[in-house]
């Protein structure tokens, strides 16, 4: 393996999807230790798992969250001032520190995960002095990242242009799903590979029996962005009065933050972030797992070009998956292609209500969905495919021995 330096806005072992993905990518067989320049806070740096890291450099996070847009001259000046005197000024310091770290490490290739606008702008600023191969990995579309951070139109255009330049300058690009492969393939001619999460050593047998005698548990894990889909689930549960086929419905949520409202007798259990092994056991104890994607037109890039990492955790339980998203979403396409998932492609609470009732009352349907989850876990979201994608991105030959 070539001597590699990784630049990213996360670190292995931190809570959240980024920390999990980076940790698991660095653990793939065939990878040597890498150097890491992480755009994280000092407190986050103390929590990072650096067991697979050769040398480490923490880069102070950027002021990339812009002021709330206001339709006035004063509002426009405030946002311009933020970009020039905070964002761009701080970016220069990050570039200086990153260049010094790169010079000390003298890598043969730089692997950049573009999981923030700062990572995009930092990587672009390093291009003029880059003397080694550049490998680019994309999780979420940069347009969504700009929207999420309230970045103004001019700065967003600059970031998108820089992103496209990075795609063209890279030696290889890693993406998260088929839609992203097609979309970014139109922007660059460099080789691209899908690096999609798969779990190793977890239970992959169908499970459609109820966990308890009197409950129907619906599980959800991770961060919530699909608020319109979530509201539809809430309204559907309210219309059922949180009960179906003689069973009380319970909603079990694992994550850092959740918003929930109900106008009826609800049973929502928030358990916070859990380690991977504990999360797997928690999800296994649920009877179905909820996977939403946003229906909002403003989130179309996220829905179409991203792929929820939580799906690999879901199917590893062998439990039915409730896939809730628009027809153009990456998950909806994945479900159609692989004949998988109890799919709801509507914001009509009645459609969700009907689907929940079917899962609660129809054992054959639950069994069909559980078998489909297991098949997807064994054929599509495998650890072997994940590991091969990581190695292909980093230019590493597959080991002659080993499970991956």
Task: Supply the pLDDT for residue 82.
Answer: 84
Q: What is the pLDDT of residue 399?
A: 75
Residues 63 and 156 grouped into a single domain? yes
Residue 94 pLDDT: 95
- Note whether 145 and 234 are same-domain residues: no
**154 and 25 belong to one structural domain:** yes
Domains in the chain, number: 2
Closest C-alpha to 31, from 398, 382, 381: 398
Whether 282 and 260 map to the same domain: the answer is yes
- Return the sign of the alpha-carbon dihedral for residues 51, 20, 108, 90: negative
Q: Write a three-state SS string for the chain.
A: CCCEEEEECCCCCCCCHHHHHHHHHHCCCCCCCEEEEECCCHHHHHHCCCCCEEEEEECCCCCCCCCCCCCCHHHHHHHHHHHHHHHHHHHHHHHHHHHHHHHHHCCCEEEEECCCHHHHHHHHHHHHHCCCEEEEECCCCHHHHHHHCCCCHHHHHHHHHHHHHHHHHCCEEEECCHHHHHHHHCCCCCCEEECCCCECCCCCCCCCCCCCCCEEEEEEECCCCCHHHHHHHHHHHHHCCCEECCEEEEEEEECCCCCCCCCCCCCEEECCCCCHHHHHHHHHCCCEEEEECCCCHHHHHHHHHCCCCHHHHHHCCCCCEEEECCCCCHHHHHHHHHCCCEEECCCCHHHHHHHHHHHHHCHHHHHHHHHHHHHHHHHCCEHHHHHHHHHHHHCCCCCCCCCC
Q: Are residues 193 and 221 in the same domain?
A: no
Distance CA 58, CA 35 (A): 11
Residue 172 is part of a domain; what is its CATH number?
3.40.50.2000
Q: Domain check: are 119 and 227 in the same one?
A: no
Query: Strands across the sheet with 34-38, in order?
Result: 53-58, 34-38, 4-8, 109-113, 133-137, 172-175, 192-194
In a domain, 210, yes or no: no
Q: What's residue 260's pLDDT? A: 83
Q: Tell me, yes or no, whether 66 lies in a domain.
A: yes
Q: Global pTM? A: 0.91
| Phi, psi dihedrals of residue 280, rounded to the nearest 5° | -60, -45
The verdict on residue 400 lying in a domain is no
Is residue 154 domain-resident? yes
**Spans of the chain, pLDDT less than 70:** 202-204, 400-404
Between the CA of residue 360 and those of 97, 244, 317, 368, 395, what are the distances in Å? 56, 6, 18, 13, 47
For residues 59 and 134, membership in a common domain is answered with: yes
Q: Are residues 176 and 234 in the same domain?
A: no
pLDDT at res. 69: 82
Do 375 and 248 share a structural domain?
yes
Q: Note whether 106 and 223 are same-domain residues.
A: no
> What's the pLDDT at 93?
95
Identify the domain containing residue 55 by its residue range.
Answer: 4-198+383-394
**135 and 224 belong to one structural domain:** no
Does 399 reside within a domain? no
Say if 263 falls within a structural domain: yes
């Amino acid at each position: 393996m070539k001597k590699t330096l990784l630049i990213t806005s996360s670190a292995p072992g931190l809570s959240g999807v980024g920390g999990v993905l980076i940790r698991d990518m660095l653990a793939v067989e065939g990878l040597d230790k890498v150097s890491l320049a992480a755009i994280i806070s000092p407190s986050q740096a103390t929590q990072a798992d650096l067991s697979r890291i050769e040398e480490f450099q923490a880069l102070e996070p950027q002021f990339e969250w812009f002021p709330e847009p206001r339709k006035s001259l004063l509002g426009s000046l405030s946002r311009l001032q933020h970009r020039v005197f905070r964002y761009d000024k701080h970016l220069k310091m990050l570039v200086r520190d990153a260049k010094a770290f790169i010079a000390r490490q003298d890598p043969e290739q730089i692997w950049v995960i573009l999981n923030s606008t700062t990572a995009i702008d930092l990587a672009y600023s390093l291009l003029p002095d880059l003397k080694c191969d550049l490998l680019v990995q994309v999780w979420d579309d940069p347009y969504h990242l700009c929207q999420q951070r309230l970045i103004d139109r001019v700065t967003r255009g600059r970031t998108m242009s820089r992103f496209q330049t990075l795609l063209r300058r890279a030696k290889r690009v890693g993406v998260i799903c088929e839609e992203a492969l097609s979309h970014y393939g139109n922007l660059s001619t460099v080789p691209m590979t899908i690096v999609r999460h798969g779990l190793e050593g977890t239970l992959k047998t169908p499970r459609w029996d109820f966990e308890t005698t009197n409950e129907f548990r619906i599980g959800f894990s991770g961060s919530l962005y699909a608020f319109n889909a979530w509201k539809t689930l809430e309204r559907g549960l309210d219309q059922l009065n949180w009960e179906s086929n003689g069973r009380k419905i319970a909603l079990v949520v694992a994550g850092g933050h959740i918003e929930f409202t109900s106008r009826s007798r609800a049973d929502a259990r928030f358990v916070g972030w859990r380690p991977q092994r504990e999360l797997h056991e928690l999800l296994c104890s649920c009877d179905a797992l909820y996977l939403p994607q946003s229906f909002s037109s403003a989130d179309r890039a996220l829905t179409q070009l991203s792929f929820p990492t939580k799906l690999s955790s879901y199917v590893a339980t062998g439990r039915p998956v409730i896939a809730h998203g628009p027809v153009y979403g990456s998950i909806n396409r994945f479900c159609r292609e692989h004949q998988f998932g109890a799919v709801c492609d509507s914001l009509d609470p009645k459609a969700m209500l009907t689907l929940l009732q079917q899962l609660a009352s129809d054992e054959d349907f639950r069994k069909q969905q559980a078998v489909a989850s297991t098949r997807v876990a064994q054929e599509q979201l495998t650890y072997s495919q994940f590991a091969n994608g990581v190695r292909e991105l980093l230019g590493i030959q597959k080991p002659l021995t080993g499970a991956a």
